[in-house]
Every structure is written in structure tokens, then in C-alpha cells.
Structure 1
């Protein structure tokens, strides 16, 4: 599913005060002056980027790429985050969260680009926390950008807020659908905040990665690799998805900064594959033992109502899962990245290009 681990470090899960009165983060609407910001000095020799979610799965790769390209990088991180695990030296760390108004303003002030990656994933927290961090946290970042002198904001949402209109079709940026679950709802609302910010005169672009694949991801990537490598994983899902390499998404983020049009949305996808196709190719590459049995769609559909009943009886959200999400898990969620290719010069590579690093990581981490 497209709610993959694109932002593993929430930066907003710690308790904090909501941003001040200059923006209502429940709506994303400014209550003071909303004129456009002063343009960042484009003559600066070394560009500066602020990255929220900097220690997450996607954020670490983005920070490393920015540093390699000569940027000055500021990263937002929580006090408990491991800042040395996978990021090269050179990041200027700002310790706080998405609800720390002072730290956020200092983070973004004077930057050429603000990459807002921080968020809470589908399986990481309660629905209430997911909604708060992803929705209100984005409002906090926009608040800071309004109050400071910043350049372009690049917001990382999810392809899950778009879906194909008909079976067999490819979803595009215009295929906006009713969100399913707390994660999609929170991202859809955050997108509206960013769109409003751009309409007010701010410079902002939204990108929609599909299912992001790469080393270090213990959720989607590890699950998919296990179905292609482990004889103990006998079954696979009946649906399909768009698998995009993490490094390709990073390239898309930079392209959105350089060439995207403010207020626009861009899907950053990869190969559209059924689960069966994906695990067969993983097994072929790594001489693995792929899952041979497809889980019946009816069995997955039946799991949705069961999860709903458990949540009702226990008054706890044990599974972030319901009948709508169960049905979604059996569909072929395929996407078109033509707009990103045409307007940004975005490029994505086949699954095999990302397997060497991912398989090496998986085998080392799951010995």
C-alpha cells in the first residue's frame, strides 16, 4: 500500500505547544498578514535547506544528497533521535518538534528550501496522533514559513490521496479521492493547507511518492523482501502497487525545488507491479524462495470488519484497519508519473536497480 515508511521520524510526537496565533493549525488559515515572503537571495554561493523528518527513512537519504551536492543542511530532530546512524557529518541540528514554534522559525529562517518530510505513518501511532502530527504539524511548518524569510516549501504527501478512477487505469494528480483511514485523511488535509499557502502568495510544491523502497525500511521494504527471499513467508497479497526507489524520490524532491510550479502536485512513482511480479523479480535477483500462495481477496476483505469489531468492543484501535482499507489492499494501485517527468525531468528506475543495496541491508539486518 502507498502508506509506506516515507517519514519514519515524526519530529512531532513529543509533547509541545501549538504554534501561536498567527496561524490556526486546525485549518491552516493565517490570521495575520499573508503577503508573499521576501525572495531568498539567489546570489548566495551555498544554498541552505531545512529538512523536517531529517533522521527518517527518506530524510536521511535527502540530507546525504543535499550535503553531497554542496548544500548547507539544517535538520529538525527530536532529542531521542539517532543523528549519527546513517547521515554523514555536516548537518546543523535543530532539536525540537513540529510544535516548537521558536525552533521551527529558527530552522526555516533564511533558507532557500524547506523540505517538509516529517510525519507519522499508518502503523506508527494511534489515529489521533497520526491526525495531529500530520495535519497540525504541517500547519505549524507553514506558520513558521509565513513568519520567517524562507524560500520554496516542498511538502511530501502520499500517493494514497489519489487513486485510479477505474480498475486497470493509472491514477494521476487530478484523481483526488475520498481518503481512507487516519493517515490518508491527515495528508489530504495537510495538502489543502499547503495549497492555501501557495494561493496566498507562498512558494510551495507538493509531491506524492508511491510505495518507497530502499535499505533501512523495516516496514514496506522488509515485508516485500521477505516475500521474495524467505521460505517462511508462503503467501503474498493479490493486489499491486507502484514501487519507487528511495534515491529516485530524493531526485524528485530536488527536481520539485528546482523546476516545480508553485501550487502544483507531482506524483513520484516507479514501476507498477503486482505483488506476484515484484516478489518473483526479487527472488530471481537474489536466488530466494518466493511466496507461492496468493492470499484470497475474500479473506482480506473479511479481516476489515473483524478489526472494526475489535476496536468497538475494546475501545482501542488495535489495528489501523477497517473494511475500506481491507478492500484497498487487494486493488492494483497503479500510478502515472508523466507530469513529473514532463515538467520536472523526473526519472525513476526499475526495481532491479534498487535491489543490491536493499537486499544487502535486509540480509545483514535479519540474520
Structure 2
């Protein structure tokens, strides 16, 4: 029996490299689409085929898709602060349209599109689900707007026959968060004792390896045109920091920062970044606006239809702490 060939866009990224590992563990052959000069350190030692290209160009995407049985479109421009949003929309929206069109033209059996819970609605003081109403106007910042638009494009493609299944990961943590992600940065700051206080917000935290396995389950069992939340446990930021403290043995911050203070700090930090450093500030207005809502979500649909079953969040916290302390940017904290 011929093994399947799966294309993973962004397979060198945080979630993508774990999807690659899950596919290899299943016995599939894996091709990764990465940009020229991309950091491939998350794939070192893995038997994968690297194809260089750019999501912003259809011909580049079409070459990568050729001969594949499945496509996992994980790649995205994930920045919460930027000076020019145009490249983000080109990558996240047009790039998604190109991947789906190229994969459909190539006759792949399944396309799994990696969206985000950030593109979903959250009821007031409630828990978001796949069918919670949302709109572009509800999306703070260019990243969420671009991902919402890309998700809508994926849904429309499925309606006209593309074999697309959508997954909406919540907030993954774990090993190989090399950049790190905004949540990984919280862990790094905690380990380096650079988090004296916290804002009142909430997150759905999940192990990145569970999210990766959820992608494969979506390809195998997901219904075309459906969305599936790949989440874990709903925790306030204070509770999450408490879990970090319990696992690491380090004290958790006890002081809460009022929203107005956080907003003012971010306003100043962004102004300094735009006029002086030209680098992302430690806190952006988009992050502060996002913090106004508790990002709590329900994964029961994925559990029921896909057999998705994430493990205890403590295991993922332990893995993330171990990575950041031993090999990641918090090594000095160990």
C-alpha cells in the first residue's frame, strides 16, 4: 500500500511542526512549504521534503501541492502589531484562497484549514462555540480580521465543492515555541520573573501536540464545511499563572493591573515602537483590546465527532516550562 503524501504549509512553525510530527508518526510522507530563508530548526532531523515558496503567489502554491493526497494549511502571518497590514492580508486571506484552489485543482482528498478561535464569536460572559455568531466588525486588529476573512473564504470554498474541513485551535502551549508566541512569551516572562502583575482576562489553554492530533482527526473524520474547536481548559490568566507557579515552584504575581492602566501603557509602547525602535512593543493595543473578553471556548463538538481528547493541561505546562528553561529563550531562568 502506497503511503500518503501530505503537504503542511508552515510546517516549520509552532503548530505546523507538531502536525508534521503527528503525520510522520502515522507513517505518512510529509512535504513542507516554507519561505526562502525560513527558520527550519523545528524540523531538524525529521525525514521531510522541503519545498520553498510563498503563499502570496498561486504558481508557488500549485507546485507545492502537486502529487499530494492531503493538505494541512497551517501557515499564517501571526503578528499582533505591524506597521503595514497589506502583506498579512496577502498571506492569510489570498494565500488561503490559493491553497484551497490549488489543492482542489490537484484533486486532494482533504484540505484541513487551520483557523483560530479568534475568528469565532463569544457570547457576553459566556463560552464560544463553532456556531456562535460573529462578524468582521467584532474582530480587533488585523490578524483576527484577516483570519476571519480567510475562514469565510474556506467556508465558501467548501460550499462549492472543495473538500475543506476547518479547525479552530485555541491557545496552544508546549515545546518548540521558538519565536515564541504571545502565550509562550507569557511563560518566558513568568520564568524570567518579568511579570510582576497581570490583567483580568481568560484563555482556553491546550497542549500543542493535542492540537496537532486534532488536525489529523479532522482530516479523517471531519465533515466537509464544518468547523471544529481544538481546545483544552478554560482558565483565567490568574489561574494560568497559578498553574505555572505550581509546576515551576516559582511564585505567581498577585497584583492585578486595571484595564485603563494596561491600555495607557500599550498606547505609549506603540508610540515608542513606531517612532523609535520600529520593533513590536512588549504590549500592543490589539493585545489589550483582546484581553477585555475572556476567550473561553467549548470543544465538545470535536470530542463528539472527531474523537478529539486533549490531555491534562498540567502536562503541556510542564513540557512548555521544560522547553523554555532548557533550550528556549528562558534558559537563563533555569
TM-score, with structure 2 as normaliser: 0.87
3-state DSSP of counterpart to 1:207? strand
Q: 2:105 aligns with which of 130, 147, 164?
A: 147
Q: Answer whether contact 1:310 1:318 (CA < 8 A) is retained.
A: no
Q: 1:283 aligns with which of 212, 228, 245?
A: 245
**Unpaired segments of 5 or more residues in structure 2?**
none
Q: Does 1:332 align with 2:294?
A: yes
Distance, in Å, in 1 between the alignment partners of 2:289 and 2:30 is 41
In the alignment, what sits opposite 2:121? 163
Equivalent residue pairs, number: 321
Deviations 1:152-199 (A, max 9, x none): 1100011011132111x1100112322221111111111111111111
3-state DSSP of counterpart to 1:333? coil
TM-aligned CA deviation for residue 220 of structure 1: 2.8
**Unpaired segments of 5 or more residues in structure 1?**
1-43
TM-aligned CA deviation for residue 309 of structure 1: 7.4
Q: Does 1:129 align with 2:91?
A: no
In the alignment, what sits opposite 1:191? 151
* Structure 1 stretch displaced more, 294-303 or 149-158: 294-303
Q: Answer whether contact 1:162 1:173 (CA < 8 A) is retained.
A: yes
Q: Answer whether contact 1:181 1:321 (CA < 8 A) is retained.
A: no
TM-aligned CA deviation for residue 116 of structure 1: 0.2
Q: 2:61 aligns with which of 90, 104, 118?
A: 104
Cα gap change, 1:81 to 1:328, in 2 (>3 Å): closer
Cα gap change, 1:232 to 1:312, in 2 (>3 Å): closer
In the alignment, what sits opposite 1:3? none
Pairs within 5 Å for 1:202-217? 202-217=162-177
3-state DSSP of counterpart to 2:109? strand
Q: Answer whether contact 1:155 1:204 (CA < 8 A) is retained.
A: yes
TM-score, with structure 1 as normaliser: 0.80
Q: Answer whether contact 2:69 2:110 (CA < 8 A) is retained.
A: yes
Q: Does 1:173 align with 2:130?
A: yes
TM-aligned CA deviation for residue 356 of structure 1: 2.8
3-state DSSP of counterpart to 2:69? strand
Q: Answer whether contact 1:243 1:272 (CA < 8 A) is retained.
A: yes
Cα gap change, 1:273 to 1:286, in 2 (>3 Å): same
Q: Answer whether contact 2:81 2:284 (CA < 8 A) is retained.
A: no
Give the root-mean-square deviation of aligned CA atoms.
2.5
Q: Answer whether contact 1:269 1:337 (CA < 8 A) is retained.
A: yes
